[in-house]
Chain A
Amino acid sequence: MTTLPKSTEKQLGLVIDLDTCVGCHACVVSCKGWNTENYGAPLADLDAYGADPVGTFLNRVHSYEVEPETGPAQLIHFPKSCLHCEDAPCVTVCPTGASYKRVEDGIVLVNEDQCIGCGLCAWACPYGARELDGAEKVMKKCTLCVDRIYNENLPEEDRVPACVRTCPAGARHFGDLSDPSSDVSQLVRERDGMDLMPEQGTKPANKYLPPRPKDKISVESGQGEIPQLTPVAEEAKGFVGWLDRMLDKI
């Protein structure tokens, strides 16, 4: 039944720190790797070495420039994957019951054996989180690494989504967003975590932490509020000092 659960016991999700993300795409690669070798159909690459390569990815990193009214522009790297929405429109449109939201942890998943590849769930998603696989012809999406997070064959530190585990900048956090005392919930509160496209009414679980305010530097003078460094060594010593004195004498 592709109706949404009235409530979920937990709501697992990601908190992504736009202040910290350096745009290295390591999360994209680790996601592709893990999800090609594990849960469900592999993520296909078509014409991988040809003129027009196209592939399935569950996580992609956009880069945006933001120009404030005053001051210099900022470059912000922006990873995007399924937001595991509370009111997930992708679930209710599914004609076969393949698309569903789990009651136990709020993860939105696709039962690939039931998927007819009509693509309507991808149409219903405002975030571009779902991609129809070019080879398997079934809908692929972020599983929040459901085959890692409960996997007792893995060391405990690896029981987080592959993207979170691999992020070298610590820009990705994983946890229960329905528990107000969880680390991720506290982070969202402290940093004013935000929803993407709130006007779509999807109530996404994943939150994004906005970049922290930048230091204000006066562009005109080039100096402004930041003090110039004072030279620490006026007199050269040693070999350089000797060379300096010799050159003076020439």
Chain B
Amino acid sequence: MHPAPSVILFTTLSGLGFGLLFWLGLGFPPVKGWAAFGYFTLAYLLSVGGLLASVFHLGRPERALRAFTQWRSSWLSREGVCSVAALLTMAIYGAGLVFLGQNWTILGVIGAGLSLATVFTTGMIYAQLKTVPRWNTWVTPVLFLAFSISGGSLLAGQGTVTLILLLVTAGILLFWWQIGDGAMGASGSNLGTATGLGSIGRVTQFEAPHTGRNYLLNEFAFEVGRKQAAKLRVIALVAGFAVPTVCLLLPVSVFGLGIAAVAHFIGVAASRWLFFAEAEHVTAIYYGKAGAV
């Protein structure tokens, strides 16, 4: 799949942002006044910034409001509804903390739940696609949630809890890579089933339908840089998890936390780039690519 920068930016930023909102909603860290203002500003910059990046991914961004209508059937629509609900709820909760010094606990818990629901719906947009076997697993939304909760905890400065969550998330990521690498083969789709000609013999592409590229090839047959996948996986693990862990184990300093957060962001972005670049779409089979033979 084509790793569109807008979507990588969106899922990475908003995942961290909603993760931080989740922790703030639960009252970690217990901040009020100006401190709360700082945390909420960071959370909103990340989550809203991510959502804005996703709007640039649309062909017709001026019609984006229509995407709130089909929440009964579409995960993308549910994501839109959940994100706005989470942002509005947390805005009221945050205003209470910042301006009135009031902690409306129930509102915070509801906001935290909606923040996680937003991340879950993001994961489900990908997990629902049977056409992309690597994504089509229950582990995908779990992975998105783990990234969000652990990244949010890092930003919320949750110390030991962050260390445990980072370890768990790295484990889920490794597991997701493990099952993902065999997913296309396990899907049972190949040129034989794609053309129905497999019962006659071995099917190979003789001639493509067009000499140039097209929308389908641009979207689904992304192969550039896949050979760097192993290196990028190491970068994702080292930057996303190992570096923040070391930073957190060292004596606490704002500088160390900053490095941990930036490294984690780079690692998550690298893993999100791989999330798209490594994913194969069954349509590519028709072009003699992916699990074609």
Contacts and interface: CB of A to CB of B under 8 A. Distances in A.
A61 to B, nearest CB: 5
B59 A137 contact: yes
Q: Most chain-B CB neighbours within 10 Å: which of A69, A74, A95, A114?
A: A95
Interface in B102-150: 125, 128-132
A114 B64 CA distance: 10
A197 B281 contact: no
A66 B202 CA distance: 5
A235 interface: no
B77 A95 contact: yes
Interface stretch (B85-93, B154-162, B166-174, B183-191): B183-191
Interface string B43-71: 00000000000000111110110111110
A66 B203 contact: yes
A57 B120 CA distance: 35
Q: Is the interface on chain A under 10, 10 to 19, 20 to 34, or 35 or more residues?
A: 35 or more
B55 to A, nearest CB: 9
Interface in B72-97: 72-77, 80
B209 interface: yes
Contacts of A66: 197, 200-203
A128 B212 contact: no
B194 A197 contact: yes
A176 B189 CA distance: 28
Interface residues of B, number: 59
Contacts of B212: 52-54
A211 B203 CA distance: 13
Nearest to A97: B70
A174 interface: no
B191 to A, nearest CB: 7
A115 interface: yes
Interface in B196-215: 196-197, 199-210, 212-215
Contacts of A67: 201-202, 204
B63 A89 contact: no
Q: Most chain-A CB neighbours within 10 Å: which of B69, B195, B201?
A: B195
B19 to A, nearest CB: 23
Interface in B213-268: 213-216, 219-220
Interface of B: 1, 57-61, 63-64, 66-70, 72-77, 80, 125, 128-132, 187-189, 191, 193-197, 199-210, 212-216, 219-220, 281-283, 286-287
